Structures are given as structure tokens and as C-alpha cells.
């Protein structure tokens, strides 16, 4: 049985994961409007990943005999200054999600909730990957600077992301 404190914390994380999906969908819409189809594709794939993360938490709460209670999702921003700003915001957001996952893990340790600790290990590893991917794109955009050709090449590369 899932402890009520952990249940509430995971429900907040479900909201955070679905906000992430909503944020990345807003970023995809911005990239589409800016004629960057590869960036938009990358963000749509990321949207689907975040939905899967939210559903993983949803399933876990149910498996442990808890109750999923959905909260309202905040409106994400719709404008970004540049492709670099888009991915700097992506990195900042992933760092925020990492902190949330770490807080959940600390709560699981405090409560000696070993099942939640095991489940959260997957998310800890996933966040390492998420931050690494965003960092690599930020660094590439910084190297590209104002080069339109480099931006077009990166847009094509991001468009090839599987999902």
C-alpha cells in the first residue's frame, strides 16, 4: 500500500510530467511557427516521452493501491527569443524536473519505501539522459552562433530524432 504522503507527492509529479508535455508541445508550436520543422519534431517526440513518464507514475500509484488525483495544468509560455533560448529553457526545465525526482526519492528513503525507491531509480537515470541531450543541443547552438547554415543543419538533425 502506498503511503498517503508519497501518494500526494507522486500525484504532484504526475502534474509536473504532464506540464512538461504541455510545455514541449508549446515549444513545438513555436518552432513550427518559426519554420523550424526539425526543432518542432524533436519537441513533439519529447512531448510523447513526457506523457509516457506521467503514465508510468499513474500506473505505479494504481499498482500500489493509491488513488490518482489530477490537478490543473498551468499554461506554458508560447514565445521564445531564439532556438538557443528554446533549448536553454528546455535544459532549465529538465534540471527542475530532476530536482523534483530527487525530492521524491528523498521522501521514499525517509519513509523506507523501497518499492518507490526502485521505481524512482529509472527516473533518476532518465533525467541524466534528458539533461545530457538538452545540454548537447544548447552547446551546439552556442557553437553555431548566428550561422543560418548551421541552424538549418541542426534543424535537419533534430528532425531525424526517432520516437
pLDDT at 163 over 90: no
pLDDT digits (tens, 9 = 90+) for 37-73: 999 999 999 999 999 999 999 999 999 999 999 999 9
Looking at residue 80, its pLDDT comes to: 97
Yes or no: say if 22 and 72 are a contact pair by the CB < 8 Å rule. Answer: no
pTM of the entire predicted model: 0.94
pLDDT tier, 87 (very low <50, low <70, confident <90, very high otherwise): very high
Torsion of CA 146, 151, 154, 158, to 10 degrees: 120
pLDDT tens digits along 137-159: 999 999 998 778 999 999 999 99
For domain 4-159, the CATH architecture is Up-down Bundle (1.20)
Q: What is the pLDDT of residues 105-146, one digit of tens each?
A: 999 999 999 999 999 999 999 999 999 999 999 999 999 987
What whole-number distance in Å separates Cα of residue 128 and Cα of residue 101? 11
Confidence of residue 161 (pLDDT cuts 50, 70, 90): confident
- Integer Cα distance of 156 and 150 in angstroms: 10
Cα–Cα dist 55/74, whole Å: 18
In this prediction, residue 143 carries a pLDDT of 93
For residue 66, is it left (φ>0), alpha (ψ between -120 and 50) or beta? Answer: beta
Amino acid at each position: 500500500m502506498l503511503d498517503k504522503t508519497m501518494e500526494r507527492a507522486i500525484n504532484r509529479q504526475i502534474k509536473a510530467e504532464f506540464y512538461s508535455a504541455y510545455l514541449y508541445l508549446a515549444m513545438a508550436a513555436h518552432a513550427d511557427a518559426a519554420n523550424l520543422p526539425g526543432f518542432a519534431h524533436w519537441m513533439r517526440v519529447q512531448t510523447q516521452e513526457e506523457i509516457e513518464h506521467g503514465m508510468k507514475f499513474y500506473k505505479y500509484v494504481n499498482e500500489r493501491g493509491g488513488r490518482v488525483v489530477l490537478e490543473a495544468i498551468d499554461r506554458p509560455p508560447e514565445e521564445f527569443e531564439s532556438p538557443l533560448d528554446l533549448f536553454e529553457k528546455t535544459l532549465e526545465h529538465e534540471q527542475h524536473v530532476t530536482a523534483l525526482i530527487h525530492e521524491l526519492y528523498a521522501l521514499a528513503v525517509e519513509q523506507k519505501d523501497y518499492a518507490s525507491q526502485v521505481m524512482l531509480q529509472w527516473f533518476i537515470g532518465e533525467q541524466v539522459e534528458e539533461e545530457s541531450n538538452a545540454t548537447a543541443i544548447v552547446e551546439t547552438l552556442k557553437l553555431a552562433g548566428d550561422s543560418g547554415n548551421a541552424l538549418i543543419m541542426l534543424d535537419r538533425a533534430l528532425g531525424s530524432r526517432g520516437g
